[in-house]
């Protein structure tokens, strides 16, 4: 009977100690992750966003998706200001939003260009038909 009691106490003590170590490790890991996010400028996200904005401009977004392009450029500027002020969480959030606005602007510009190409092709077909009808007469 004494042996059973002693084993139970040892098992409970080990379990409690192990659980305490797990909680401590979890708390330490969480604080390191949070400190890492808050303390580092989102340079990589900023570079990705800058690339997305440049790509959208190259695709003609300033002409075909002016509203989305302006939103992307404004948010990128705000992200730059937030980075300068060391408000890295805000800077990252704004850079991510600017990236998505730029991607939407780029896709919208591509779609508008494709639609214009389709219209031009239809007009070309129509012109050929009319020319063909005139030469028959």
Residues 6+ apart with CB under 8 A from 78: 94
Series of mean pLDDT values for 10-residue runs along the chain (137 residues): 50 53 51 54 94 96 95 97 96 97 97 94 91 77
| One domain, residues 52 and 67 | yes
Identify the pLDDT of residue 18. Answer: 52
Identify the pLDDT of residue 32. Answer: 43
| One domain, residues 30 and 63 | no
- pTM of this prediction exceeds 0.75: no
| One domain, residues 24 and 65 | no
Identify the domain containing residue 129 by its residue range.
41-136
CA distance 41 to 128: 59
| One domain, residues 68 and 129 | yes
């Amino acid at each position: 009977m004494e042996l059973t009691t002693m084993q139970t106490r040892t098992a409970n003590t080990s379990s409690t100690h192990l659980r305490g170590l797990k909680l401590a490790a979890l708390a330490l890991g969480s604080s390191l992750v949070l400190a890492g996010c808050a303390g580092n400028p989102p340079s990589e996200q900023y570079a990705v966003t800058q690339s997305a904005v440049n790509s959208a401009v190259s695709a003609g977004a300033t002409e075909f998706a002016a509203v989305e392009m302006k939103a992307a450029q404004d948010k990128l500027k705000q992200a730059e200001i937030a980075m300068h002020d060391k408000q890295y969480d805000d800077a990252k959030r704004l850079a991510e939003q600017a990236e998505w606005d730029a991607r939407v602007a780029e896709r919208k510009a591509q779609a508008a260009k494709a639609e214009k190409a389709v219209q031009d092709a239809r007009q070309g077909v129509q012109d050929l038909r009319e020319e063909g009808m005139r030469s028959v007469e």
